[in-house]
Homo-oligomer: A and B are copies of this chain.
Amino acid sequence: MGLSIVSSTLPPRGSDLPLLLLLGFRALIDDVHAELAEAGHAGFRPLHGVTFKAIGDGVTASELGRRLGVSKQAAGKTIEGLEREGYVERVSDPGDARSKIIRLTPRGVDVQQQAFKVMADLRARWAERLGEGRMTAIEDALREMTADRETRFDIPGWFNG
């Protein structure tokens, strides 16, 4: 009875690397958003972060949908939410009367800058604990192992299937 925690299907040694990467990612993201919440951006979610990355310097709703792996209508809904909270705005494209360009507002840029700063701070804290050598070794290793992969932003659809 007391051994019920020992599964009949023991995972082999070395199979926990994905979990470790996920845990590390989550730890950082959680810390970032805890800080953002204190800075007056409590409604800002991890998903918004990748949306910001997908927006970049400005995109149309259609293009954003493609990048996020959802329909343009779904992207439009996401935009509405961010617009309501004052993070993004939609302006007419002077070069294309059909398009409206979605871009970050000053408030949106502010969150992004703060997020970047917190991430850098957290990275520094990790480096302090691990040593700068080990820290850069990890980053270099991850860069090397993911060099052939393109950065994709369709996280929810990818994970949930």
Contact = CB atoms under 8 A, between A and B. Distances in A.
Contact of A14 (B124, B134, B149, B158): B124
A159 B20 contact: no
Nearest to A148: B27
Give the number of times this chain occurs in the complex, counting copies: 2
Chain A, interface residues (CB within 8 Å), range = 35 or more
Interface string A9-44: 101111111111111111111101000000000000
Given A14-B124, A159-B155, A146 B20 contact: yes
A146 B27 contact: yes
Interface of A: 4-5, 7-9, 11-30, 32, 45-48, 56-57, 104, 109, 112-113, 115-117, 119-120, 122-124, 126, 129-130, 134-135, 137-139, 141-146, 149, 151-152, 155-156, 158-161
B130 A18 contact: no
Contact of A139 (B17, B135, B142): B17
